[in-house]
C-alpha cells in the first residue's frame, strides 16, 4: 500500500505498552486494520529489535501491512522491511535510497514548512509531521511541540507528498488532523496503552475516515 493510503500507522514502543510485547501489540493492531507499522523501540539493543523485527516482518507480510524501521537503514535491510523512517539527524534520504533501493518507502520527519520542502527535494516518499499535539512519549523541542492542525495544513499545502500527523493523536482529535489534509495518523500510546489495541486502531481509522470526508 502506498503512504497516501495509510490511515493508521503504529509506531512501536514496548516500554509504553502496559507490560505487553511489541509483537502482541502489532498483532492486535493488525487485527484492528492498521496500515503501517514502524519498529521504533529506541531503548532496545539492535539485536533485540532485529529479533522483534523478524517476527513483525512475518506478521505484516501475511497481513499486507507495510513495515518500516525507525532511523536504522541496516536494521531495515536485515529484516527485509519495506522502508525506513528518518529524522532530521539521520542519514539523508538519497543515501538511504542508495542502500535500500528505488522501491523502498522512505519517510522523513518535518516540523516546519522548510524542512518539508527539503524532504520533498530529497525525494522522500512521505512526511511524518509533528508534534501536532502534546505528547509525553518523546521529548520534543518547544518550537516543534503541540503546534496543532494549522501547521499540518501549511505543510500539506507546501508539498506534493503525503503527510502523516504524529504526536498526541487520539481517536478524539485524529479527524481534525485528517481534515487539515493529512493522509493518516501515526501513534504510539493511543494503540500501545489501550486496553484493547485492536479496537483503538479501528476507532482511529474511523476518525481519520471522518476527517478525510470533511
Ligand atoms: C511517522 C513518524 N513521524 C515522525 C517520527 C519522528 O522521527 P524522529 O524525528 O527521527 O524521532 P524519533 O522517532 O527517531 O525519536 C517518527 N518516528 N515517525
Ligand atoms: C515518535 C514521535 N515523534 C514525534 C514528532 O513530533 O516527530 S511525536 C512522537 C511520539 C508519538 O507518541 P504518541 O502517539 O504517544 O504521542
Ligand atoms: Mg529518528
pLDDT at site 150:
98
pLDDT at site 33:
98
In the predicted structure, residue 119 carries a pLDDT above the cut 90 = yes
For ligand 1, residues with CB inside 6 Å are: 9, 11, 38, 40, 42, 70-71, 85, 87, 107, 109, 128, 130, 138, 164, 166, 186
User: By three-state DSSP, how is residue 55 classified?
Assistant: helix
Q: Is 8 annotated as ligand-binding?
A: no
Say yes or no: ipTM exceeds 0.90: yes
pLDDT at site 155:
98
H helix intervals, the chain: 22-31, 46-63, 73-79, 93-100, 113-121, 149-158, 174-179, 189-192, 197-213
- The pLDDT-based confidence of 214 (bands split at 50, 70, 90) is confident
- Which of 94, 91, 96, 107 shows the shortest CA–CA distance to 39? 107
Q: Is 42 annotated as ligand-binding?
A: yes
Rounded distance, CA 188 to CA 32, Å?
A: 15
Q: How many whole angstroms from 13 Cα to the centroid of ligand 1?
A: 12
pLDDT digits (tens, 9 = 90+) for 147-184: 999 999 999 999 999 999 999 999 999 999 999 999 99
Task: Tell me the average pLDDT of the chain.
Answer: 98
Whether 68 contacts 83, CB under 8 Å: yes
Is residue 15 annotated as a catalytic residue, yes or no?
no
Q: Which residue among 39, 85, 107 has the greatest number of ligand 1 atoms within 8 angstroms of its CB, and so is best to mutate?
A: 85
- Which of 103, 101, 84 shows the shortest CA–CA distance to 40? 84
Catalytic one of 57, 138, 153, 210: 138
- Which of 100, 40, 104, 46 shows the shortest CA–CA distance to 69? 40
- The pLDDT-based confidence of 10 (bands split at 50, 70, 90) is very high
Rounded distance, CA 208 to CA 163, Å?
A: 13
Which domains are delineated in the chain? 3-213 (3.20.20.70)
Catalytic one of 7, 27, 40, 97: 40
Whether 39 contacts 14, CB under 8 Å: no
Amino acid at each position: 500500500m502506498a503512504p497516501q493510503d495509510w490511515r493508521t500507522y503504529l509506531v512501536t514502543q514496548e516500554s509504553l505498552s502496559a507490560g505487553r510485547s511489541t509483537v502482541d501489540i502489532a498483532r492486535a493492531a493488525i487485527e484492528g486494520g492498521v496500515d503501517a507499522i514502524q519498529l521504533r523501540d529506541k531503548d532496545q539493543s539492535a539485536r533485540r529489535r532485529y529479533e522483534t523485527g523478524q517476527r513483525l516482518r512475518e506478521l505484516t507480510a501475511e497481513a499486507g501491512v507495510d513495515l518500516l524501521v525507525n532511523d536504522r537503514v541496516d536494521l531495515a535491510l536485515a529484516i527485509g522491511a519495506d522502508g525506513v523512517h528518518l529524522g532530521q539527524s539521520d542519514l539523508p534520504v538519497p543515501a538511504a535510497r542508495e542502500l535500500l533501493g528505488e522501491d523502498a518507502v522512505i519517510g522523513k520527519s518535518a516540523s516546519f514548512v522548510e524542512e518539508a520542502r527539503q524532504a520533498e527535494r530529497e525525494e522522500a516518499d512521505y512526511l511524518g509531521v509533528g508534534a501536532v499535539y502534546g505528547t509525553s512519549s518523546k521529548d520534543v523541542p518547544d518550537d516543534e511541540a503541540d503546534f496543532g492542525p494549522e501547521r499540518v495544513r501549511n505543510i500539506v499545502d507546501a508539498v506534493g507528498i503525503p503527510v502523516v500527523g504524529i504526536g498526541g493523536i487520539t481517536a478524539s482529535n485524529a479527524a481534525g488532523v485528517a481534515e487539515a489534509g493529512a493522509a493518516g495518523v501515526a501513534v504510539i500510546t493511543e494503540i500501545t496503552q489501550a486496553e484493547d489495541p485492536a479496537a483503538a486502531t479501528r476507532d482511529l481509522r474511523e476518525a481519520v475516515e471522518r476527517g478525510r470526508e470533511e
